[in-house]
Amino acid sequence: MDRMENMKLMDIYNRLYNNFGPRHWWPAKDDFEMIIGAILTQNVAWKNVEVAIENLYSRDLIDLYRLYNAKNEEIIDAIRPARFFNQKLRYIKAFCKHIIDEYGGELDKFFDKDTKTLRRELLSLPGIGEETADVIILYGARKPIFVVDAYTKRLVSLLGIMDGPFTYPRVQQYFMSNLETDLYLFNEYHALIDAWGNIICRGKAAKCAECPLSDLCSICTLDRTKDRIAPVI
């Protein structure tokens, strides 16, 4: 671990934490709901996912076997608000089938696998890319892995803390090699970056005057007295 890089990353973390407070992620009642949410949230706002999850609950389908055995039309009807419902139906069914076929339907047995095995198996399933796989490992299996999303890439780019290209593996490696491997830290850090990207650093509508990172930002020349329109990244 590079001490200077660690100090830089912890400074950013502390600023975000002091600004937003603990995020208590993932917002789900249990691990299965967490996984369904992680699949449904691909390419759609979280508020749409909340509606889809509520629809699944109202049909008593937040259960691995019941969801797997449910009629496609019933599931599509429930998850329609999360868009791309035909694809997402296929991804959800494939995940359920994997857990049923390989782990007797027991999610805990799957989560008992080491991180490398979990990641390899998740990435072999349709519709599960690096971000979704790592979200499931971090927030479902509760194993420390750093999740990278578009906001994370925007953050490292705007703050100039690493050189591009900002590919998933490079950004993940940068965080993981310069932070203590700590489940709570990785959990909160990703959630805090999400809050920053969702609430403050919103492209053209960025609220730079409210940004706890403004003095580190390469594009903010700074009038802290009012919101400033920031360039699209």
Q: Which residues bind ligand SF4 (CB under 6 A)?
A: 158, 200-201, 206, 208, 211, 213-214, 217, 219-220, 230
CA–CA dist 190, 168 (Å, integer): 14
Give me the least distance between CB of 198 and ligand SF4, in Å please.
Answer: 12
28 vs 161, beta carbon nearer ligand SF4: 161
Which residues, including other chains, have CB under 8 Å from residue 218's CB and lie 6 or more apart? 158, 159, 160
Give me the least distance between CB of 19 and ligand SF4, in Å please.
Answer: 11
If one counts every other C-beta atom within 10 angstroms of the C-beta of residue 11, the result is 12
1 vs 219, beta carbon nearer ligand SF4: 219
Nearest to 189 by CA among 6, 42, 10: 10
132 vs 214, beta carbon nearer ligand SF4: 214
158 vs 171, beta carbon nearer ligand SF4: 158
- 157 neighbors 233 (Cβ within 8 angstroms): yes
Angle at the Cα of 51 from the Cα atoms of 46 and 56, rounded to 5 degrees: 120
Give me the least distance between CB of 125 and ligand SF4, in Å please.
Answer: 34
Give me the least distance between CB of 175 and ligand SF4, in Å please.
Answer: 17
